[in-house]
Amino acid sequence: MIMSRIEARRDEDTVAAGPLVDRLLGGLPAEAVLTDPDVTASYAHDMASFCPAGSPAVVVLPRTVEQVQHVMRTATELRVPVVPQGARTGLSGAANATDGCVVLSLTKMDRILEIDPVNRIAVVEPGVINAALSRAVAEHGLAYPPDPSSWEMCTIGGNIGTASGGLCCVKYGVTAEYVLGLDVVLADGRLLTTGRRTVKGVAGYDLTRLFVGSEGSLGIVVRAVLALRPKPPEQLVLAAEFASGAAASDAVCRIMAGGHVPSLLELMDRTTVKAVNDMARMGLPESTEALLLAAFDTTDPAADLAALGALCEEAGATQVVPAEDAAESEMLLQARRMSLVALEAVKGTTMIDDVCVPRSRLGELIEGVERISEKHGLTIGVVAHAGDGNTHPTVCFDASDPDESRRARESFDEIMALGLELGGTITGEHGVGVLKKEWLAREAGPVSMEMQRAVKRAFDPLDILNPGKLF
């Protein structure tokens, strides 16, 4: 429907690049308006596979709130779709351009406006890199916990748009819990301020949380008040090897039922362990069918790790290796960090799923993925934020082979179906974008979809904000 509307507009010639660019230049400096097709094409898509991307009419790089307001007013006037973008590290196509759209890149709005240690907040522009914020607040003894794998590249605006997770979530939660207030430019260019600068606040509807994870479809976040935490002590890591994914999953259940709060609890299945072993000669024994990595950042992490290690042994761990210090911890985490690169090396291309199940169903998910992998004759490795039940089954395939690509997409969908069957969700932290639109409808059901569309209409009646994403 959206495509046909765009085509209809084209027939009427209302969005020919000329008038659009002229109007944009009325409120933006020339260097902030990119029209060279070779350049604009480089803003066409994020890092998701299998997601269609159109050609932007123009890319704008505003530096101020007023400039963003000008862009949105122009877009509303001319009924041109606007696709907001951060660093385009997303994995669901939520930042992919649509034909004839304005790509609104927030990357130049990258100032940290305030760091306040007494109130434990930071005020930032959306283009601030996650790692830059982490380093800046660390100088004040503070931490901004959400740590997606792309943290050295991704922006806070993108993190807010996709409600990002990361490795820390098992102890510290997700992005939604760290966003206290927002300045948002609405579809028609008006500026909305939501939320608060205080720790608590319940004045009116929680519009702040509504924007978190809305993938740029309700408004453009131009400023965020973020909650910070005291920087925790350095974490100490333990690796535990298991003879089956089921045993490792059992260990996860014992750890969580036992009341432990690790700062990290990651799982790699046998396919992933093998891929990492092949790539880096980590020297993991061939008998290792699953590897669990756990960490504590408590005052006595060695004691906590000892208790956790004992639970791993009860669950049948073949070997438990606690790190002695930060350097050893870092070495153990290397295996986890290399996982996706190692899996990518298997066939050249990967498609990373993001199914989150109740953690008690983790073992069933891993077994189910094995069955799907065998059925399609494909390599699928499972890397998981095990403590959260958030798995990333990663389908390895040769993108130049159409049949293998088709099977990859099919297995990807079957994994989501399995996730729903196990009481889970199709996306724990990567979002819906264009990749999982049909699956959102399947998970949420017709009443929810109707209410979500009603919310969308309330904020964006002309459907110009990232149209065609989510639904």
CA-to-CA distance for 92 and 355, rounded, in angstroms?
13
- Could you say which of 174, 187, 335, 366 contacts its own copies (CB under 8 A)? 174
Nearer to its own copies, 139 or 330 (CB): 139
Instruction: Check binding of 197 to its own copies (CB under 8 A).
Output: yes
Name the strand (E) or helix (H) holding 382. Answer: strand 379-385
Q: Kindly state whether residue 427 participates in binding its own copies, applying the rule CB under 8 A.
A: yes
Member of 26, 29, 285, 358 binding its own copies (CB under 8 A): 358
**Phi (first) and psi of residue 457, to 5 degrees:** -65, -35
Q: Is 22 exposed, middle or buried (0-12, 13-18, 19+ CB in 10 A)?
A: exposed
Of 83-91, 115-123, 270-278, 400-408, which segment contacts its own copies by CB under 8 A? 115-123
In the bound state with its own copies, the residue whose beta carbon lies nearer, of 41 and 192, is 192
Q: Residues binding its own copies: what is the number (CB under 8 A)? A: 91
Provide the CB-side half-sphere exposure for 129 (13 A, CA): 11
Contact between residue 234 and residue 297 where contact means Cβ atoms under 8 Å apart? yes
444 binds its own copies (CB under 8 A): yes
Q: Does 329 bind its own copies (CB under 8 A)?
A: no
Phi and psi at 264, nearest 5°, equal -165, 135
Rounded Cα gap, residues 20 and 73, in angstroms: 11
Q: Binding of its own copies at residue 214 (CB under 8 A)?
A: yes
What element of type H or E holds 104? strand 102-105
Is 14 an interacting residue with respect to its own copies (CB under 8 A)? no
Cβ atoms 214, 202 nearer than 8 A: no
CA 461/CA 459 separation, integer angstroms: 6
CA angle, 355 then 449 then 445, to 5°: 60
Please select the residue that binds its own copies; options are 110, 206, 401, 463, rule is CB under 8 A. Answer: 206
- Distance separating alpha carbons of residues 452 and 448, to the nearest angstrom: 6
Q: Which of 199, 326, 331, 341 binds its own copies (CB under 8 A)?
A: 199
Task: Rank residues 244 and 360 by Cβ distance to its own copies and give the closer one.
Answer: 360
Stretch that binds its own copies, among 1-9, 18-26, 37-45, 193-201 (CB under 8 A): 193-201
Q: List strands edge to edge, sheet with 191-195.
A: 112-116, 121-124, 220-227, 179-185, 191-195
Which residues ranging from 241 to 280 are in contact with its own copies (CB under 8 A)?
253, 256-257, 259-261
Closest distance to its own copies from the beta carbon of 18 (Å): 32
* Residue 347 beta carbon to its own copies: minimum distance, rounded to whole angstroms: 28
- Dig out the tokens for 464 from the structure: 């110009």
**Is residue 457 part of the contact set for its own copies (CB under 8 A)?**
yes
Q: Which stretch binds its own copies (CB under 8 A): 32-40, 45-53, 60-68, 113-121?
A: 113-121
Q: Which residue in the set 432, 435, 464, 465 belongs to the binding site for its own copies (CB under 8 A)?
A: 432
Out of 200, 283, 377, 402, point to the residue binding its own copies (CB under 8 A): 200
Q: Contact with its own copies (CB under 8 A): which of 76, 162, 349, 405?
A: 162
CB-count burial class (<10 Å; 0-12, 13-18, 19+) for 321: middle
Q: Which of 38, 204, 283, 377 binds its own copies (CB under 8 A)?
A: 204
Binding mask 368-387 for its own copies (x = CB under 8 A): -----------------x-x
Rounded to an integer, what distance in angstroms lies between the CA atom of residue 174 and that of residue 190?
29
- Which residues from 273-312 bind its own copies, rule CB under 8 A? 298-300
Phi and psi angles of residue 378, each rounded to the nearest 5 degrees, phi first: -125, 155
Among 131, 207, 279, 321, binds its own copies (CB under 8 A): 207
The answer to the question of residue 1 lying near its own copies (CB under 8 A) is no
How far does Cα 435 stand from its chain's mean position?
13
